[in-house]
Amino acid sequence: MTPMLDDFFTRALIGGIGVALVAGPLGCFIVWRRMAYFGDTMAHSALLGVALAFLFDIHITLGVFAITATVAFALVLLQRQVALPTDALLGILSHSTLALGLVLVAFMAWLRIDLLSYLFGDLLAVSRFDIALIYGGGAAVLGILALIWRPLLAGTVSEELAAAEALHPERTRLAFMVLMAAVIAIAMKIVGILLITSLLVIPAATARRFAGGPERMALLAAGFGALAVALGLFGSLQFDTPSGPSVVVAALLLFLGGLLPLALNRSGGRRGGGREGAR
């Protein structure tokens, strides 16, 4: 590799691993709480945040965070006041915010914007400032997550029991949503708006096969996410494929690899049962 290639590749690797270390633990709660569709909704709303950031000339990360957090609070309010199922509300918010973002970008004719880089990420364009933002924001997110870990975990198991123990599950759930908004804002450049949820969900789902407890699962999810970033980046370099989707494909391969022992055990069990029956 040339020195220049080595430089931007190293920045991409450091930035991607930083996002994975933060996304892993949060992704565990998304898996436990079955909030993947909610994550998609917040991620899709990020494009509206990008458009508004350009319109009002503010930093893109700040614009995305503001919109995704607003969508999270809007969902909570709509759940209380509108007689519609949550998945219907999520569908409305997800597609309407994505469409609003696309329409707003189309109206800004003076703006030349590479939509593909926002939709699918541009990991190889990560700057030193982006790395500082990822690790600074990521440290803050993990610190807050550590503070709310016990009440959030209790509310995941049973909101009624958490409320009985005065752990304020509703307040904790809102805090978790804000943390998700922050992670989406800092991760958008890595894997893109349409793929953010995959980096949150797939490593956590992979870790679930090997974890003996919630804390161990959070650590394994971070590790699998970091490994997916490394494998995806090297694969992208080797095969000249888009970096963000390559990371997601690597995460998928790790997930499928984690399923192999289970499939082999079941296959062996069936063969063993057949032999026992023949005897």
Bigger pLDDT: 7 vs 245: 245
Can you give the pLDDT at residue 8?
83
Could you give all domains of the chain from N- to C-terminal order, each with its CATH number? 3-278 (1.10.3470.10)
Mean residue pLDDT across the chain: 88
Can you give the pLDDT at residue 1?
46
- pLDDT > 70? residue 12: yes
Whole-angstrom distance, CA of residue 135 vs CA of residue 141: 10
- Residue 276 pLDDT class (50, 70, 90 cuts): very low
Whole-angstrom distance, CA of residue 194 vs CA of residue 155: 29
Report the candidate in 27, 2, 8, 24 with the shortest Cα–Cα distance to residue 233: 8
**What would the pLDDT profile of 159-187 be if each residue is shown by its tens digit?**
888 888 888 888 999 999 999 999 999 98
**What would the pLDDT profile of 206-257 be if each residue is shown by its tens digit?**
999 898 899 999 999 999 999 999 999 999 989 999 888 999 999 999 999 9
Burial status of residue 6 (CB atoms within 10 A of its CB: 0-12, 13-18, 19 or more): exposed
Whole-angstrom distance, CA of residue 22 vs CA of residue 200: 9
Report the residue count for the chain.
279
Whole-angstrom distance, CA of residue 269 vs CA of residue 274: 8
Report the candidate in 12, 19, 14 with the shortest Cα–Cα distance to residue 195: 19
**Whether the Cβ atoms of residue 203 and residue 24 lie closer than 8 Å to each other:** yes
| Residue 212 DSSP label | S
Number of neighbouring beta carbons within 10 Å of residue 211 = 17
Report the candidate in 83, 71, 34 with the shortest Cα–Cα distance to residue 208: 34
**Cα dihedral sign, 119-125-129-130:** positive
**Whether the Cβ atoms of residue 47 and residue 99 lie closer than 8 Å to each other:** no
Number of neighbouring beta carbons within 10 Å of residue 263 = 10
Angle 246-4-122 (CA atoms, 0-180°, nearest 5)? 30
Distance in angstroms between the alpha carbons of the first and the last residue of the chain: 61
- Residue 188 pLDDT class (50, 70, 90 cuts): confident
Q: Which residues contact 58 (CB under 8 A, 6 or more apart)?
A: none
* Distance (Å) of CA 151 to CA 39, 132, 169, 175, 213: 21, 30, 7, 11, 16
Total-model pTM: 0.88
Whole-angstrom distance, CA of residue 179 vs CA of residue 175: 6
**What would the pLDDT profile of 87-132 be if each residue is shown by its tens digit?**
999 999 999 999 999 999 889 888 778 888 888 888 778 889 999 9
Quick one: three-class SS letters along 60-76?
A: HHHHHHHHHHHHHHHHH
